[in-house]
Structure 1
């Protein structure tokens, strides 16, 4: 069989394992397919010597760069093979990622794709190992003949879907997006996940003690302002305190269950009405920091590595952005000072190493300038001006040096708000100004940047005519609600029509940079590692003596990832942890 694999132009493979965690799962077998309706399943049994022999033999076809490898959710399989020192070379084709490009808003799991494209119902894993829970068994316990049927089916169906998706990608004009961005990104993400990021658990435990003390202090101050003790975590009791006892406003909002509304948005609106509201917001913020991050992160450290190994999802966010789970490291707080402290616990692998961070400066505004072709905005970026000061100067018809801090802040809010399709009402709320002032600011903005207005209008027109909008690299965001009769639903689709080409292009640009950075680091045999991507930011664990080279590679590849009418610029930093580097 191995000899046959080595003589093929392509084969499909699927690993069968003991679990979903790729760093902990054991390999049970591998299924192969190289023609429709045919598959072979190689079960590894209990003899470690025999398994070792098979693994040594399989290295050759997997290493052969001339053989294309197909799979479904290949990143998982690459992890498993890496655990057994099997390196995979050559072109890859992942049916899950391919379908995500073709139909980003749909489901991409194999059984759904089999029914949709092949009218075939697959054997469900639960029928072999039981439903999720305590009693679910391992794939190791599945009888060989049933394991063979299940695994072979996976490989065969994936082979058949590959033939369909390759044609569809070609017909729809997605070939370059797939082959130049999404496919080469798979091994890059696998390497990052495998490498992981070290966590200073001791520092987090100390921070947790501080937070608990602060939470108790906030609690006491809330009780003092309320004039009584109550269950702060109960929305009903909080509502009664705020609106029945303290009567902070005359006609408070209520939920569908007729309770007083005490959610985040409501409290933010009311924070000037009574000191207790500000204290409640601070209390909730501290509780979230403690429960979601400071107490939770240490539990996710893998005992064998002392690191957190997040999982990057390439086929979830419809704009093309990556997301991360277990844990979500793209959501680590950055705006509040206390939240930023969490980043101090993310450290390099050893004390000698350095944490290096690089992020794009205002990439979405730069892409707006490029996509809208607005000359004023392009000139501001080309001349290296502070875009928010430049915007304020143009709106208020002042020289840049006459722009006050408040004017710059208003322009900044407008710059970022408008690319997300913010309304005068939304801008007024965010800036705490009247709706007429917000409308005047938006009008002044579009007068300053007429190309931006035209870009927004043309994006909405394209969505109405074609049902989708596109990024610079041809990624589509389908917007079926753009013709909805419901104004709220339609308005949301229109905002997505404006922002998706920008956010999606930014996602594509950083993916290109990641691929090129990893290629260069590999070709130069650098020992440093790319460990995290947080939207517009890349983070690295740098070994002694490599900082200057890593910095040069990262800045060069990030700034040259796309050819734009404005420069892409990168801010960078280095330190003993993520906070110091950022």
Structure 2
């Protein structure tokens, strides 16, 4: 922090009680969980963040933190045993909200601070002092009089309820003394709420008069005999000790040994998806909508987060609690059982009983970070390798200096042989001292080659099961060092198979809290954050040992808890067929990468820039003035203020809404300016997201782009890719297709694109038992033309393209539960006409309506739906009392078996493909997966031989598990670049 910066410190505990008492009770509709205080807190915090630039004095925060009471004994109890003794327990419906509010703070992307032994006010006082010493200013967001002693030239307070700044004049006006005398005033008056004794009979007005007369408390006590009023004089003399104790109690500590530095409080932009995920879990619909609008996030695409519910017994400790799903309507919410198993009175010989017993055993071992071993010599490492081999199952994790496994360096690895028994092997930790490059290696680390020689024997031994969390990263990492991990399980994927859509994420930290009740050491705690963050090779080895040892320990415990649940839930086949075998396949694909032509991207970037510039001029002419096109406010003022276009609506902030849907609707009505804006947004997004960004992803060592695939990111089983995301490159626009021309085959190779033809419609025809669709696919008829002929009575031969287009929109729209409103917008037709189309569609294909109704009924009864391979996607909010939420979940539940089955089919194809190509004597390499499409790099001379193998594997991927009643069809072609091959 530096001079000119401004720190906001929010009194989080004060916010909680203000929110609770100021608002009527509110419960989450799905499970009646009290959330009134959480709702009030979130709304107050959102308003504060949004309005910070509009305060009376124009304050713009650069740093921001929310401070809470730890809710346990503090040093003040040692000074005065009756401190806060008369405080009653918090309201029962408020208790579970304490932890949720801390989670809300983190969801807002804000520091959430508390410290055992100290109150929130002490932390606020300490950070205000540190900010002052750094030359910055501080605003304390609170109206608590206890904090007014901190007000000064660089420290003010802000009461958000009254929208009022509190500076030195306001303190004097309210209490009759300046801030520096507030401690003495409170020492005299005491505090009945906190049970601070003070001096009986001395109120604020009297205390101010006495301090004005005598100057300060010490002088007053020394000269108490001079007070004229007998009763007042005697009370002060009799309670001298109480006054001095009271002064110590109300004096805020400014020297708390805080661990977070001010630089860690830099105010970041809100993380829209993260915040919306939490708000959706809380079912705060209105705030979700406002946040989505403000952050430009598509809320419908965000899954609800998981939440921690704090029990009554845990309310007086730090923020820990039992993890439960975002809706308690599911049968697996019971925090009392760490494994989430069925009730304890069940038959002890059932798989569920075994799962619970193993879970309890894994949780029973207490975490002792000091017991983790740091291995720094070969003999000790050899002993641990032998111990791991004897155990037969070992938790394993790598520590590196980068999230990109293709460029990371191995810093060390950790293993766990049983719960509580773990070790870390540092290999590449640096001292941070010495030359300009960061210093040399820390002493007493095993040479990396020697350590990996011993590790190889363990990792490549198929008789020892290696258990990892997100193991694909470790597979890529170790493969780069020449080690192939054999025989493994992945706790992240086991959790995904069990609970997709039920609990939000499947990361180790959240799984640990939910199933073990243990909060793991955060990466921030060992490596810092923001500008002060260091890479793991610079982390102190003792800290690294505790952190890495815990990772391996937690992972092994999770395996003991989660793996038996696969048997209990009859989901072993899903994990073994669709998840575990895909891990090494994706690891290989990520390592292969794909070549990208920088010159093509550079040329496209220039052309997109020219296109955008041309559109800008047209936009300015249509608008009649120049303005910032990317500014929603200025654009809204032009469209609805100046031009008076219809359909304008304002957001909660008072600005006109200029969302993509609003602009598309206006463009569909024939207004030219909105159409130009839509086109400009598309061009600028393509430029920034792809043509400008992709060169930065080219690996300097391989000269190829290596995307990262996430297996557990969607509820339906679809893969997603990131860094870069290659699955969202537009295919329907010429500009998007031109971006694909930059993805090229190496010299002597061709790219082969193999794409399932209408796979989701084929799956629908299979699961919904629709004779007309099945026969059409069997006969190879144009399915969209056939649908149009069935619905509109138009012959297939010579059918107008517009008629076929409408049928195509209905075919695909039905899969996604399209409404008459949505279809009307898509086809630019009246809603009544769209409604008639949908009604006629269901009349012609009654099996689809039957499928939808039966799927919704099943989902309501069970909380989940299944693909044809048994994968489950959970939709607990399908029973929500909120009609919009319920309808959304119904649509998702209808689509999930179709989309999920298609995703499962291509997963099965990918697993088989890795073996089929070399078994056929081919050198083709699978590079990318984009939804229903696989991309291969094939030697020129093998193209003709490779394509039939690819088609055969993909078209037969469902067999023998499922015999589809319609044939799968794959279109494949080869070319020099991705666009031409597609």
TM range (shorter): over 0.9
Tell me which residue corresponds to 1:485. Answer: 881
Question: Does 2:871 align with 1:472?
Answer: no
Tell me, yes or no, if the aligned pair for 2:755 and 2:970 is still in contact at 8 Å.
yes
Change (3 A) 1:135 1:359: same
Alignment counterpart, residue 532 of structure 1, candidates 928, 947, 971: 928
Question: Does 2:471 align with 1:74?
Answer: yes
Question: Does 2:951 align with 1:555?
Answer: yes
Q: CA deviation at 1:24?
A: 1.7
Change (3 A) 1:65 1:252: same
Secondary structure at 2:818 match in 1: coil
Q: CA deviation at 1:201?
A: 0.8
Tell me, yes or no, if the aligned pair for 1:6 and 1:60 is still in contact at 8 Å.
no
Secondary structure at 1:308 match in 2: coil
Question: Does 2:892 align with 1:513?
Answer: no
Q: CA deviation at 1:468?
A: 1.1
Tell me which residue corresponds to 2:528. Answer: 130
Tell me which residue corresponds to 1:20. Answer: 403
Tell me, yes or no, if the aligned pair for 1:248 and 1:273 is still in contact at 8 Å.
no
Tell me, yes or no, if the aligned pair for 2:947 and 2:973 is still in contact at 8 Å.
no
Q: 2: CA distance between counterparts of 1:48 and 1:577? A: 47
Change (3 A) 1:525 1:53: farther
Secondary structure at 2:591 match in 1: helix
Tell me which residue corresponds to 2:597. Answer: 200
Q: CA deviation at 1:171?
A: 0.8
Q: 1: CA distance between counterparts of 2:725 and 2:711? A: 14
Equivalent residue runs for 1:184-263 within 5 Å: 184-249=581-646, 252-263=648-659
Secondary structure at 1:354 match in 2: strand
Tell me which residue corresponds to 2:979. Answer: 579
Alignment counterpart, residue 383 of structure 1, candidates 757, 779, 784: 779
Question: Does 2:476 align with 1:93?
Answer: no
Equivalent residue runs for 1:39-58 within 5 Å: 39-44=422-427, 46=441, 50-58=447-455
Alignment counterpart, residue 706 of structure 2, candidates 296, 306, 309: 309
Tell me which residue corresponds to 2:815. Answer: 419
Secondary structure at 1:204 match in 2: helix
Question: Does 2:419 align with 1:36?
Answer: yes
Q: 1: CA distance between counterparts of 2:446 and 2:552? A: 26
CA deviations over 1:364-401 (Å, ceiling 9, x no partner)? 00000001011111111111111111111111234322
CA deviations over 1:276-317 (Å, ceiling 9, x no partner)? 222222212111111111111112212222111111111111
Tell me, yes or no, if the aligned pair for 2:760 and 2:899 is still in contact at 8 Å.
yes
Q: 2: CA distance between counterparts of 1:403 and 1:371? A: 29
Q: 1: CA distance between counterparts of 2:396 and 2:631? A: 52
Tell me, yes or no, if the aligned pair for 2:512 and 2:518 is still in contact at 8 Å.
yes
Stretch deviating more after TM superposition (116-125 or 368-377):
116-125
Secondary structure at 2:803 match in 1: helix
Q: CA deviation at 1:266?
A: 1.1
Stretch deviating more after TM superposition (454-463 or 431-440):
431-440
Tell me, yes or no, if the aligned pair for 1:376 and 1:448 is still in contact at 8 Å.
no
Q: CA deviation at 1:523?
A: 4.2
TM-score, normalised via structure 2 length: 0.57
Tell me, yes or no, if the aligned pair for 1:531 and 1:539 is still in contact at 8 Å.
yes
Secondary structure at 2:730 match in 1: coil
Q: 2: CA distance between counterparts of 1:333 and 1:352? A: 28
Q: 1: CA distance between counterparts of 2:973 and 2:499? A: 38
Tell me, yes or no, if the aligned pair for 1:460 and 1:494 is still in contact at 8 Å.
yes
Tell me which residue corresponds to 2:690. Answer: 293
Change (3 A) 1:446 1:86: same
Q: CA deviation at 1:30?
A: 1.8
Tell me which residue corresponds to 2:766. Answer: 370
Q: 2: CA distance between counterparts of 1:98 and 1:49? A: 34
Q: CA deviation at 1:555?
A: 0.8
Q: CA deviation at 1:426?
A: 1.7
Provide structure 1 residue ranges, at least 5 long, that are not aligned to the other structure: none
Alignment counterpart, residue 357 of structure 1, candidates 738, 753, 769: 753
Secondary structure at 1:494 match in 2: helix
Secondary structure at 1:401 match in 2: coil
TM-score, normalised via structure 1 length: 0.95
Question: Does 2:498 align with 1:115?
Answer: no
Secondary structure at 1:355 match in 2: strand
Q: CA deviation at 1:178?
A: 0.2
Tell me, yes or no, if the aligned pair for 1:528 and 1:541 is still in contact at 8 Å.
yes
Secondary structure at 2:415 match in 1: strand
Change (3 A) 1:231 1:114: closer
Secondary structure at 1:15 match in 2: strand
Alignment counterpart, residue 394 of structure 1, candidates 790, 798, 802: 790
Q: CA deviation at 1:89?
A: 2.2
Change (3 A) 1:209 1:27: same
Tell me which residue corresponds to 1:569. Answer: 969
Tell me, yes or no, if the aligned pair for 1:14 and 1:71 is still in contact at 8 Å.
yes
Tell me, yes or no, if the aligned pair for 2:414 and 2:423 is still in contact at 8 Å.
yes
> Considering only aligned residues, what root-mean-square deviation do their CA atoms show, in Å?
1.9
Alignment counterpart, residue 183 of structure 1, candidates 552, 577, 580: 580
Alignment counterpart, residue 275 of structure 1, candidates 650, 672, 676: 672
Secondary structure at 2:949 match in 1: helix
Provide structure 2 residue ranges, at least 5 long, that are not aligned to the other structure: 1-381, 429-440
Higher relative contact order (CA 8 A, sep 6+): 1
Q: 1: CA distance between counterparts of 2:562 and 2:479? A: 27
Secondary structure at 2:751 match in 1: strand
Q: Which has the larger radius of gyration?
A: 2
Alignment counterpart, residue 439 of structure 1, candidates 808, 821, 835: 835
Q: 2: CA distance between counterparts of 1:391 and 1:87? A: 51
Q: CA deviation at 1:120?
A: 2.2
Q: CA deviation at 1:546?
A: 2.6
Q: CA deviation at 1:522?
A: 4.4
Q: CA deviation at 1:121?
A: 2.8
Q: CA deviation at 1:59?
A: 2.0
Q: CA deviation at 1:511?
A: 0.5
Tell me, yes or no, if the aligned pair for 2:412 and 2:424 is still in contact at 8 Å.
yes
- Equivalent pairs, count: 578
